[in-house]
Amino acid sequence: RSSYMILTIYIHDLNDNRPTINSVTPLIVGQFVAASNTLYVTRPTISSLDVFAVNATDEDSFGENGNVFFSIGLSVYEVSASGVVSIPSTLSQGPHPTQVFVRDGGIPQQSTAVSLDFFILDTPTLIGQTTINVTENTESDVILGNFTAGVTYFGPTGSATIRYSISGSDAATFF
């Protein structure tokens, strides 16, 4: 005589790992300091309101324990379900620090955070005369005028780099 029984065994993953921040990537042009997750930009370079992408994973692989969810520490920022951090276009110059929190869906819930800092630097402003008229047949190597630019917020190094350029349809021909 014999008998048999089907025995189903469910193995549940313990939620024993907290999410891991794999990378923080700047999404706009600027000076990025990876060691501190700090991005410095001038207002004209802000072409997108998405400024950082935070990538995170969780080693717990079963069910909600391995899912990651993003939230933001400062209400002026927003973070998407995929970890893209956005700012409003109305931010003023200066520093704008925040934290992105990453949590899993397990019980008990595990979480981690990453600090981000977004600096909007002052846009250089020309001071004084901005147009110079030149008469035909003016000699070369003649000083035609002087330009001065200034900034009010200098950023992390206490200095600012200001670049000048000459533009126009025939600028390359003469300069």
Cα 171 from chain centre: 34
CA-to-CA dists, residue 97 to 8, 80, 110, 158, angstroms: 51, 18, 23, 18
Tell me the two tokens of residue 98.
């925040």
pLDDT at 151: 56
109 pairs with which residues across the strands?
none
**Residues facing residue 84 across a β-bridge:** 53
Least confident of 22-36, 94-108, 124-138, 157-171: 157-171
Question: Which one-letter DSSP state was computed for residue 171?
Answer: H
> Where residue 149 falls among pLDDT bands split at 50, 70, 90?
low
Residue 166 has pLDDT above 80, yes or no: no
CB atoms within 10 A of CB 79: 21
Residue 171 has pLDDT above 80, yes or no: no
pLDDT digits (tens, 9 = 90+) for 38-94: 888 776 556 558 889 999 999 987 778 899 999 998 767 889 999 999 887 777 788
pTM for this predicted structure: 0.67
In which element (H, E) is residue 87 found? none
Of the chain, the end-to-end C-alpha distance in Å amounts to 103
Higher local confidence (pLDDT), 170 or 102: 102
Mean of the per-residue pLDDT values of the chain: 80
Q: Three-class SS of residue 132?
A: coil
Biggest CA pair distance of the chain:
117
Arithmetic mean of pLDDT, 114-126: 78
Strands 38-42 and 111-121: parallel
pLDDT confidence of residue 96: 86
Q: Taking a C-beta distance cutoff of 8 angstroms, is the pair 49, 43 a contact?
A: no
Q: Would you place residue 33 in the very low, low, confident or very high pLDDT band (cuts 50, 70, 90)?
A: confident
Of 24-33, 38-47, 139-148, 160-169, highest mean pLDDT: 24-33
As a whole number of angstroms, the distance between CA 15 and CA 66 comes to 8
- Residue 46: burial class (beta carbons within 10 Å; 0-12, 13-18, 19+): middle
